C-alpha cells in the first residue's frame, strides 16, 4: 500500500482517536497531522512493520506524550492548567457530559489507556505494546483511571 | 451487580468520536513536512543557521546601504566652506580658539549626517549621545511614517514605527539614548508608547483616557525607562514605566511643571535649577541646565538645585542652542558675518571655542530639554511589575531592564536567565532556537545551546537550568540525524560536555532535570527508560523505569535530586516549603509541606494559568477563561490576591525553576 492510500484511509480514525486523547479539536488535528508526517518520513519502516496501524498508533501516543510534556512547560509560562475543554461534545446535561469531563481530567497516559481499551478495543497486551509499557502497568493505569472516574462520578466500585 | 463504567466509556467515546466533524486530510502539509523530515534525516539539510544569519545581516545592512546609496546618488553640495568668509563685523567668532570637533548630528537638505549619512528625507531629529531619533518622510506618501534610530557611526538602524508626538510633546529620548517614548492622541485619549532602542521594539504602552494635547504633555524619559508626563487638568505630574501603572509624582508643583522645570533628581523629586525661564538644554546627567539669565540678559549655565549662574562668554549673540556634548559642554551656533559657526562653551567658566562652520541650510537635532536622571540610582517609584522575567511583544524584561527583540521564551533559575529567540523556519519545518544568556543589560549569545528544531514545537528544545542556575542543558538536532545534548557552564561560559543520543523516529528523549551534583537526568518516553549523565562521561541507564510523573515532566528538582511532585500539585516554591496546587474546578491553593495546611487563593476569577513563584511568599497566576487575562499576585500565607496587570496579552513569562 502506498502512503497516500494509507493516509486517506486512516485519517478519520487517527483524528477521532486524537480527539479523544486531547479533548480538543484543534489539538487533535495537529496531533493526527504530526503523526502522519512522521509516518510519511519513515514509511519504508512503517509499511514493513507487522501491523502498520499499531506502529502509527504508537507514533500517535508518543506524539501526545511529548506534546503534553511541552504543553506542561507552556502552562508554566502562561497557559491553561490542563483544565478540561468540554466544548467538543454536544451540550448533554446528563451523565455523558460528566463522564467526558472526568475523562478529560485524567492524566494523559491513563486517558490513553482508556481510549485504547474502550474505543480502539485493543487488548491489554496490545495496549501495552502501543504505549511501550508492561502489561502490569496497563492494568494498574486502567484500574487507577476507573477508580478516579468512579470517585468523581460518585459511583460505587464493583469488586472484580 | 455488573460494572457499567466500561460500557459507559465505550458509549461516550463512540458518541463523541462519531459526532465530531472530521476535518479534511491536510495532505499537502503532511507531504511537505514529511519530505522535509526525510531530507533532514538523510543529511541533506541546508545550512539553516548560515541562511538565518545572512538574512539578519541583510536586514541590518539594507537600510544603511540604502542611505549610502542615496548619498552617492544625491547631488553634491554647491560648495562646502571650510573656512568662514571674511566678516564685516570683525571675525569675532573666527577669533575664538579652535576646539575639537563635536559628536553632533546635522541635517541639511533632509540628509542627516553624523560622520556619514544616516538617513535621507529627514524631517525631525532628537539626539542623546550617539543615539538619534529620526522622523523621516515616506517618499511615496510624503507623510512622516516612522522613526529610525542610529547608534554611533556604523551602528545599527532600527525602524521603530510611528513615534507620535503631534502636539503632545515628544517623542523623547532618554539621556543615555536607550529609550524613546512617544505620545499619540487617538480620539478617546492619549496613548504613550515606549520603545527600547537597543531592541528596536515597543516595550509597553499605556492609555490615558480623555486626555488630549491641551491637557497632557510628554516631557521626558529617563535612563531607566521612566516617562515623565504633565497633565494640565488637573495640574500634576505623573510618571509611567512599562509594566506598571501611572504614578502621581510627589513634590511637583503645577507651576514648576508648566514652566518646564523638569530636571528630576535621583530621588524622583523635581529639582528646580537656578533659571528664570524654561531650560533651553539639559546636560545628559542632569547636573547643569542652559537657560536665559534674568530679564533675558544672556545665556547662563545653572547647576540643577543651585542658585549659581555661569554666563556664557560668547562675543556675539548665539543663534541657537544645539545641546550638550558628551563632555558636559554646551554646543551653540553663532553668526559671524556671512558664516554660521558651531561653538562649544564649557559649563565651568562659560568660555567658548569654535568647532566648525555650519553649512548653509543645516540644522541640528533638538536639544534635550526634559528631565534628566542622574544615572545609577533609580527613583523609588512604586511598581507592581512582576519580578519573574517575561517577554512582552518579543522584548525581554528582567527587573527594570528591557532587552532583546524577537524573544519567544525564557528560562530562569538561581538568578540565571536564558532567553530564546526563534529563528527563521528551517528545512525540517521547525525553527532554529537561538539561546542567549542575560548578562546585566545585554544578551550574550550562547551558540553551544542553539538548537535546530525538527518540528514546530520550539519549546521542546528549550534549555533547562540547574536550580542554582549554574548549569544549562539543551537538546538539539545537530545534523538532522543526531539528537545531541549539551551541558554548558553558566559561570565559566564553556561547554562542559556533549552526548549524542540514539536516532529515533519518535524522538522520545527529553531532559528531566539537573541534579545538585551537576549530573543530568533524561528520559526516553518510548522505552520509559531513565538515564543519568555527568558531562565528560557516558550516560548511565537508571535501574528503574521512569514514572508517569517524570515522563510528563511533573517533577521537582531539589537539592536532594529529582523527585516526582506529590499527586495533585503543580509547582513547588523556590525554597521547597510549600506547593501550589490546582484543581479541576479552576481554583488554586497553597499547601505547606511542614504542616499540610492548605490556603485557598482568593482569585478574582477562575484560574487560567500558573506563572510561577516570585518568592516563597508570592505567586503569580493568570485568571479568566482565556489567554491574555489578568495577572494576579497572591500571598501564599493569607491567600489574598491583587491584580498586577489587567491583561497579559502578548506576554510570555519565563519558566521558573527546573521542573
Contact call for residues B202 and B407 (beta carbons, < 8 A): no
Mean pLDDT by 10-residue block, N- to C-terminus, for chain B (659 residues)?
76 83 81 68 32 28 32 30 35 65 70 70 69 66 51 48 60 76 81 77 81 77 77 68 72 44 46 60 75 76 75 85 80 84 88 84 67 36 70 82 83 87 68 84 84 59 80 76 82 87 56 78 70 86 68 58 60 80 70 80 80 87 80 90 83 69
Inter-chain touch A118–B13, beta carbons under 8 Å: yes
Placement of cell 515616506 in the chain: B138
The dihedral through the CA atoms of B310, B313, B317, B320 has a sign that is negative
Inter-chain touch A40–B31, beta carbons under 8 Å: yes
pLDDT tier at A157, thresholds 50, 70, 90: low
Is a pLDDT exceeding 90 seen at residue A114? yes
Report how far residue B637's alpha carbon sits from residue B180's, in angstroms, rounded to the nearest whole number.
40
Structure confidence at residue B50 (pLDDT): 28
Which of B10, B506, B584 is opposite residue A118, by nearest beta carbon?
A: B10
Choose among A90, A82, A95: nearest CA to A27: A82
User: Best interface-test mutation with B: which of A77, A82, A103, A141 has the largest number of B CBs within 10 A?
Assistant: A77
Contact call for residues B249 and B268 (beta carbons, < 8 A): yes
SS3 content of chain B, % helix, strand, coil (to 5): 10, 40, 45
Q: Which three cell numbers stand for residue B415?
A: 538568578
What angle do helix axes A95-104 and A108-118 make, rounded to 10 degrees? 130
Structure confidence at residue B262 (pLDDT): 46
Does A87 touch chain B if contact means CB atoms closer than 8 Å? no
Buried b (16+ CB within 10 A) or exposed e, B42-75: eeebeebbeebeeeeeeeeeebbeebeebeeeee
Q: Where do the domains of chain A lie, and which CATH numbers do they carry? A: 1-83 (1.10.1740.10), 87-160 (1.10.10.10)
Inter-chain touch B622–A41, beta carbons under 8 Å: no
Placement of cell 558664516 in the chain: B339
Burial of B619 (0-12, 13-18, 19+ CB in 10 A): buried
Is a pLDDT exceeding 80 seen at residue A127? yes
CA dist B156 → B58, B60, B108, B375, B393 (Å): 12, 7, 21, 24, 20
pLDDT tier at A17, thresholds 50, 70, 90: very high
Which of B10, B26, B627 is opposite residue A78, by nearest beta carbon?
A: B627
Structure confidence at residue B530 (pLDDT): 77
CA dist B58 → B61, B407, B445 (Å): 5, 20, 19
Residues 6+ apart with CB under 8 A from B448: B486, B488, B495
Report how far residue B304's alpha carbon sits from residue B573's, in angstroms, rounded to the nearest whole number.
47
Identify the closest residue of chain A to B608 by CA–CA distance: A80
The dihedral through the CA atoms of B243, B245, B250, B253 has a sign that is positive
Within 10 A of B397 (CB to CB), how many other CB atoms are there?
27
Q: Which three cell numbers stand for residue B93?
A: 567668532
Q: What is the DSSP letter of B631?
A: E
- pTM equals 0.45
CA B186 to chain centre: 25
Which of A11, A63, A119 is opposite residue B25, by nearest beta carbon?
A: A11
Inter-chain touch B34–A119, beta carbons under 8 Å: no
Structure confidence at residue B658 (pLDDT): 46
Contact call for residues B309 and B293 (beta carbons, < 8 A): yes
pLDDT tier at A115, thresholds 50, 70, 90: very high
Within 10 A of B460 (CB to CB), how many other CB atoms are there?
20
Choose among A45, A109, A104, A19: nearest CA to B553: A109
Structure confidence at residue B235 (pLDDT): 59
- Judging contacts by C-beta atoms under 8 Å, the chain A residues touching residue B626 are none
Residue range A58-86, pLDDT digits in tens: 888 877 766 544 443 333 322 223 333 33
B518: left (phi over 0), alpha (psi -120 to 50) or beta: left
Identify the closest residue of chain A to B523 by CA–CA distance: A66
Residue range A129-151, pLDDT digits in tens: 887 777 888 888 888 888 888 88
Amino acid at each position: 500500500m502506498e502512503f497516500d492510500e494509507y493516509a486517506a484511509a486512516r485519517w478519520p480514525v487517527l483524528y477521532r482517536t486524537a480527539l479523544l486523547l486531547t479533548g480538543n479539536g484543534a489539538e487533535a488535528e495537529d496531533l493526527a497531522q504530526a503523526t502522519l508526517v512522521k509516518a510519511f518520513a519513515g514509511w519504508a519502516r512503517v509499511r514493513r512493520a507487522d501491523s502498520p496501524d499499531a506502529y502509527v498508533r504508537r507514533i500517535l501516543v508518543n506524539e501526545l506524550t511529548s506534546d503534553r510534556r511541552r504543553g506542561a512547560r507552556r502552562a508554566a509560562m502562561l497557559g491553561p492548567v490542563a483544565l478540561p475543554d468540554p466544548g467538543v461534545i454536544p451540550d448533554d446535561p446528563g451523565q455523558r457530559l460528566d463522564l467526558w469531563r472526568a475523562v478529560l481530567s485524567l492524566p494523559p497516559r491513563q486517558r490513553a489507556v482508556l481510549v485504547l481499551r474502550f474505543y480502539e478495543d485493543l487488548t491489554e497486551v496490545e495496549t501495552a505494546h502501543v504505549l511501550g509499557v508492561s502489561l502490569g502497568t496497563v492494568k494498574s493505569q486502567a484500574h487507577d483511571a476507573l477508580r478516579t472516574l468512579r470517585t468523581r462520578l460518585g459511583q460505587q466500585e464493583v469488586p472484580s | 451487580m455488573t460494572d457499567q463504567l466500561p460500557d459507559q466509556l465505550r458509549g461516550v467515546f463512540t458518541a463523541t468520536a462519531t459526532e465530531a466533524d472530521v476535518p479534511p486530510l491536510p495532505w499537502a502539509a503532511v507531504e511537505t513536512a514529511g519530505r522535509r523530515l526525510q531530507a533532514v534525516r538523510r543529511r541533506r539539510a541546508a545550512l539553516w543557521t548560515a541562511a538565518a544569519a545572512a538574512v539578519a545581516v541583510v536586514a541590518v545592512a539594507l537600510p544603511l546601504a540604502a542611505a549610502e546609496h542615496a548619498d552617492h546618488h544625491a547631488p553634491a553640495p554647491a560648495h562646502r566652506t571650510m573656512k568662514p568668509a571674511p566678516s564685516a563685523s570683525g571675525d569675532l567668532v573666527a577669533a575664538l580658539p579652535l576646539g575639537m570637533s563635536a559628536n553632533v548630528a546635522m541635517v541639511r537638505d533632509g540628509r542627516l549626517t553624523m560622520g556619514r549619512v544616516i538617513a535621507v528625507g529627514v524631517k525631525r531629529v532628537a539626539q542623546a549621545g550617539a543615539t538619534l531619533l529620526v522622523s523621516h518622510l515616506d517618499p511615496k506618501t510624503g507623510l512622516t511614517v516612522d522613526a529610525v534610530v542610529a547608534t554611533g557611526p556604523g551602528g545599527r538602524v532600527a525602524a521603530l514605527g510611528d513615534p507620535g508626538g503631534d502636539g503632545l510633546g515628544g517623542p523623547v529620548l532618554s539621556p543615555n539614548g536607550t529609550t524613546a517614548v512617544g505620545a499619540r492622541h487617538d480620539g478617546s485619549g492619549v496613548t504613550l508608547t515606549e520603545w527600547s532602542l537597543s531592541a528596536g521594539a515597543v516595550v509597553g504602552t499605556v492609555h490615558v483616557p480623555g486626555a488630549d494635547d491641551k491637557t497632557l504633555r510628554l516631557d521626558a524619559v529617563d535612563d531607566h525607562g521612566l516617562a515623565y508626563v504633565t497633565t494640565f487638568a488637573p495640574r500634576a505630574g505623573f510618571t509611567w514605566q512599562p509594566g506598571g501603572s501611572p504614578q502621581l509624582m510627589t513634590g511637583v508643583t503645577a507651576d514648576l511643571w508648566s514652566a518646564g522645570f523638569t530636571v528630576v533628581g535621583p530621588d524622583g523629586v523635581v529639582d528646580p535649577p537656578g533659571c528664570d525661564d524654561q531650560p533651553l538644554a539639559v546636560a545628559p546627567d542632569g547636573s547643569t541646565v542652559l537657560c536665559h539669565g534674568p530679564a533675558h540678559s544672556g545665556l547662563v549655565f545653572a547647576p540643577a538645585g543651585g542658585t549659581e549662574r555661569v554666563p556664557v562668554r560668547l562675543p556675539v549673540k548665539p543663534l541657537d542652542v544645539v545641546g550638550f556634548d558628551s563632555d558636559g559642554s554646551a554646543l551653540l551656533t553663532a553668526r559671524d558675518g556671512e558664516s554660521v559657526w558651531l561653538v562649544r562653551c564649557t559649563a565651568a567658566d562659560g568660555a567658548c571655542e569654535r568647532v566648525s562652520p555650519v553649512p548653509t541650510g543645516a540644522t541640528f537635532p533638538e536639544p534635550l530639554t526634559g528631565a534628566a536622571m542622574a544615572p545609577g540610582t533609580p527613583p523609588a517609584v512604586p511598581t507592581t511589575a512582576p519580578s519573574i522575567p517575561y517577554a512582552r511583544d518579543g522584548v525581554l524584561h528582567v527587573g527594570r531592564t528591557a532587552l532583546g527583540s524577537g524573544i519567544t521564551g525564557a528560562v530562569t533559575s538561581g538568578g540565571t536567565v536564558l532567553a530564546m529567540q526563534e529563528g527563521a523556519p528551517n528545512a525540517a519545518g521547525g525553527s532554529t532556537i537561538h539561546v542567549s544568556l542575560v548578562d546585566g543589560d545585554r544578551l550574550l549569545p550562547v551558540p553551544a545551546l542553539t538548537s535546530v528544531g525538527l518540528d514546530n514545537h520550539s519549546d521542546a528544545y528549550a534549555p533547562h537550568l540547574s536550580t542554582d542556575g549554574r548549569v544549562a542543558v539543551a537538546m538539539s538536532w545537530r545534523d538532522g540525524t543526531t539528537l545531541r545534548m549539551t551541558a554548558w557552564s553558566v559561570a565559566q561560559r564553556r561547554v562542559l560536555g556533549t552526548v549524542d543520543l540514539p536516532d529515533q523516529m519518535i524522538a522520545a528523549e527529553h531532559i528531566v532535570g539537573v541534579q545538585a551534583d551537576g549530573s543530568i537526568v533524561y528520559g526516553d518516553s518510548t522505552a520509559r527508560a531513565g538515564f543519568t549523565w555527568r558531562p565528560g562521561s557516558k550516560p548511565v541507564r537508571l535501574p528503574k523505569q521512569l514514572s508517569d510523573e517524570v515522563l510528563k515532566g511533573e517533577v521537582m528538582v531539589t537539592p536532594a535530586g529529582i523527585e516526582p511532585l506529590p499527586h495533585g500539585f503543580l509547582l513547588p516554591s523556590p525554597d521547597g516549603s510549600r506547593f501550589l496546587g490546582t484543581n479541576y474546578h479552576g481554583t488554586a491553593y497553597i499547601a505547606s509541606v511542614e504542616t499540610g495546611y492548605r490556603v485557598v487563593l482568593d482569585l478574582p476569577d477562575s484560574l487560567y494559568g500558573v506563572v510561577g513563584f516570585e518568592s516563597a511568599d508570592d505567586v503569580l497566576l493568570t485568571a479568566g477563561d482565556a489567554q491574555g487575562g489578568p495577572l494576579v499576585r497572591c500571598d501564599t500565607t493569607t491567600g489574598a490576591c491583587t491584580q498586577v496587570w489587567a491583561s497579559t496579552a502578548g506576554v510570555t513569562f519565563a519558566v521558573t525553576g527546573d521542573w
